[in-house]
Amino acid sequence: MPTALLVEQLLNGLQAGMTLFLMAAGLTLVFGVMGLINLAHGSLYMVGAFAAAAVAAATGSFLLALAAALAAGAIAGVVVEMVVIRRLYDRDHLDQVLATFALILIFSEGTRWVFGSFPLQLDIPAWLAGPITLPGGIPYPLYRLTIIGIGLAVAIALWLLIERTRTGIRIRAGENDREMISALGVDISRLYTLVFALGAALAGLAGALVGAIQSVQVGMGEPVLILAFVVIVIGGIGSIRGALIGALLVGMTDTMGRILLPSLLATITDASMAASVGASLASMSVYILMAVVLVWRPSGLFGAAT
Amino acid sequence: MSREAFVNAAILLALLAVPLWALANDEPFTITLATRAAILALAGVGLNVALGLGGLVSLGHAVFFGIGGYAMGVLASHAQSYDPIMEAPFLIEGTKSMPIIWIAALVTSAIAALGIGALSLRTSGVYFIMITLAFGQMAYYFAIGWPAYGGEDGLSIYVRNGFPGLNTLDPIQFFAIAYTLLLLALLLVWRLSKSPFGLALNAARQSAARVETAGIRPYTLRLTAFVISGALTGLAGALFADLNRFVSPSMLSWQTSGEIMVFIILGGVGRLCAPVAGAGMFVLLEHWLGGTGEFWHIWLGAILLFVVLFARGGLIGALAGRGRTDG
């Protein structure tokens, strides 16, 4: 395989990993701090994408669209947390799964009601549209490079937030012992709303960023949600570092599998067979990766042993 | 007779009475709706072995439902094209006989449940939920990318499969088959829950450490329950595919897993007949609300949310009062 193509695919894998990280970070924080499994995280991703598409269509500004995605994610997160999620912290996982499944139904049909069933278009702005030439003369889309940059920036900001600020100390304390920190005078329910809104805003941002590459449509969130679950299962639930490493592993496996498996199979069977079986194997590859990690470490790479 | 037993009998009789009434009034579509409810209830009864008895929140039971469906689709499509599935090392031909298809569905989904369960049960709690969900997604993508049996488009069967001595094309006779299998499955699960195995499984759900102290491995109990659970859901999948004469990857989708779980919560967690009550409610809602417009899922979501947040006992809890209190 030529080097240029390989570098391009590696960067694509990195970009896929970074968008997954934006999703997985929120999920893993919400689970780590509140002990809540949130299936509706994919709906927040969709809300972000639709908000971005609507604002971009109205104003023509991509930056405003991204801001709208962040805001819409955060607002939807706060509302959902205060109306529904708050009642679920003390419930068992079954109730959490079912209630957030119900939220998916409501969000998806509600969005279909407002925006219709046709996909919306969110265009990459002109100033990010072209290819850029990397060292070595390899052309690569600037927009995808921007996504990688945003993902890195978010990872660093989250790390600073959690390790270096007072809020971060509270979040970490909340993970360890929620009774203790509320006894010490921290408003735990406000902290929970804040963490949930933060995760929701990141999901909304991810939705908008990916929406400009793919189409913005109802149901776009769930495949990403399930991949994000795979990410945090691999990385270890509750660990931001695990989410980052897991996201990069999953993004790389998925992207490289799609490229390498069909051509590998082509050496042993005929071309059309290799293309279809290879594609189907490639989409299974991340789940196989997950199974392998679990057999090796049942609590994920960075998870605390249960 | 306890109040819950009375409610259970009433639910089962209602499910029988509706198609009989429809037969008398010549409304075959209502019979088909009742058949659909009975088959979905059977899928829920399967999941309830893992969820209700074992406390295993599996969000991947669509895998077994879909495998049962594809067992039917593969066998029947080979039979209708007179093309054997394999010739070497030994001949396997397709079949249009329901009993053989059921056995194939039970066996293949049990094997799948054994594999998935053996891996997933190494973990617990929220990991288990996510892993079963991920395995479901893996099977879904495999079916989409599997061109030999229709891929994304699915697989159609021209004529419903046969059962010796019955005319399965007659709606009421096909209903009778589905209803009988549902009753048999309920009987099995009821016997199971009273057996030493069921009692140990129930104990492991409440406190795995105590069961282990008594010298029983919770892992083996749970894996056994998961396999039985998967096999029953697989049988339901074969019937469901036969009802529609169609099988497609959507039977394997994660929404299907969620819906099967919804039956149980609508009926009431921890109740023997919860899946029957829940599937009946689901089919009714789907039929009534589906008629009011294309956005009926929003109402389903609202009802589900209400039941989870405020009415945990579900329908049977509301009718029969408090059941077991251990949650």
> Quick one: pLDDT at residue B322?
64
pLDDT in tens, A60-81: 899 999 999 999 999 999 999 9
Closest by Cβ to A222, choosing from B57, B135, B254: B254
pLDDT in tens, A163-209: 889 988 888 888 788 788 888 888 888 889 999 999 999 999 999 99
**Residue written as token pair 């329901």:** B98
| Residue B234, beta-bridge partner list | none
> Quick one: pLDDT at residue B49?
94
Res. A280: pLDDT tops 90: no
Tokens at B37, concatenated:
């409810």
| pLDDT band, residue B286 (cuts 50/70/90) | confident
- Residue of higher predicted confidence among B11 and A265: B11
Res. B323: pLDDT tops 50: yes
Res. B147: pLDDT tops 80: no
A131-134/B246-247 β-pairing? unpaired
| pLDDT band, residue A306 (cuts 50/70/90) | very low
Flag if A109 and B309 touch (Cβ within 8 Å).
Answer: no
Which range, of A212-216, B63-67, B224-228, averages the lowest pLDDT? A212-216
For range B292-314, the mean pLDDT: 83
Closest by Cβ to B308, choosing from A102, A223, A237: A102
Instruction: Catalogue all structural domains in chain B, each as residue range(s) with its CATH number.
Output: 3-320 (1.10.3470)
| Residue A237, beta-bridge partner list | none
Flag if A99 and B308 touch (Cβ within 8 Å).
Answer: yes
> Quick one: pLDDT at residue A1?
62
- Residue of higher predicted confidence among B42 and A262: B42
User: What is chain B's length?
Assistant: 327
Angle made by CA atoms B94, B98, B101, in degrees to the nearest 5: 50
- Whole-angstrom distance, CA of residue B133 vs CA of residue B137: 6
b/e code A75-87 from CB counts within 10 Å (16+ = b) = bbbbebbeebbbe
Q: Is the peptide bond before B89 cis (omega within 30 degrees of 0)?
A: yes
Nearest CA in chain A to B142: A280
pLDDT in tens, B93-112: 788 889 999 999 999 999 99
> Quick one: pLDDT at residue B88?
66
Tokens at A198, concatenated:
């933060």
Among A109, A239, A270, most B C-beta atoms within 10 A, so best to mutate, is A109
> Chain B contacts of A237, Cβ < 8 Å?
126-127
pLDDT in tens, A15-54: 999 999 999 998 988 888 888 889 999 999 999 999 999 9
ipTM of the complex: 0.85
pLDDT in tens, B238-251: 999 999 999 999 99
User: What is chain A's length?
Assistant: 306
pTM: predicted TM-score of the whole model, two decimal places: 0.89
